[in-house]
Structure 1
Amino acid sequence: MSEDEHRWSAEVTEHSDAMDIEHGTFSHDDPHEIALALKHAAESSERRKSDPFRSAMSMLNFYINRAGKNLSRAEHEKLERTKPELRKVFGRPPE
Structure 2
Amino acid sequence: MATRSKATSRKTSRKASTARASATRKQGAARKRPTAKRTTKRWSQRVTRESNALDLEHGVFKQTSARKIAASLKRSAESSRRRKSSAYRSALSMLTFYINRAGKNLPKTERARLERAKDELKREFGRE
TM-score between both structures, scaled by the size of structure 1 = 0.83
**1:69 alignment counterpart:** 104
**1:48 alignment counterpart:** 83
**1:26 alignment counterpart:** 61
User: Over residues 36-63 of structure 1, what are the superposed CA-to-partner deviations in whole Å (9 max), with x where a residue is unaligned?
Assistant: 0000000001221100000000000011
Matched residues in 1 for 2:67 and 2:46: separation? 28
Matched residues in 2 for 1:41 and 1:90: separation? 13
**Pick from 25, 48, 52: which aligns with 1:17?**
52
The structure in which a higher percent of residues are helix is 2
- 1:11, distance to aligned residue in structure 2 (A): 4.0
Matched residues in 1 for 2:117 and 2:43: separation? 25
Give the partner amino acid of 1:88: R
Greater RCO, CA 8 A, separation 6+: 1
- 1:16, distance to aligned residue in structure 2 (A): 4.6
**2:125 alignment counterpart:** 90
Give the partner amino acid of 1:69: K
Pairs aligned (count)? 91
Unaligned runs of 5+ in 2: 1-37
- Summarize the Cα distance change of 1:38–1:16 in structure 2 as closer, same or farther, 3 Å threshold: closer
TM-score between both structures, scaled by the size of structure 2 = 0.63
Q: Which structure would you say has the larger Rg?
A: 2
- 1:8, distance to aligned residue in structure 2 (A): 2.1
- 1:70, distance to aligned residue in structure 2 (A): 1.8
Q: Alignment RMSD, CA only?
A: 1.9
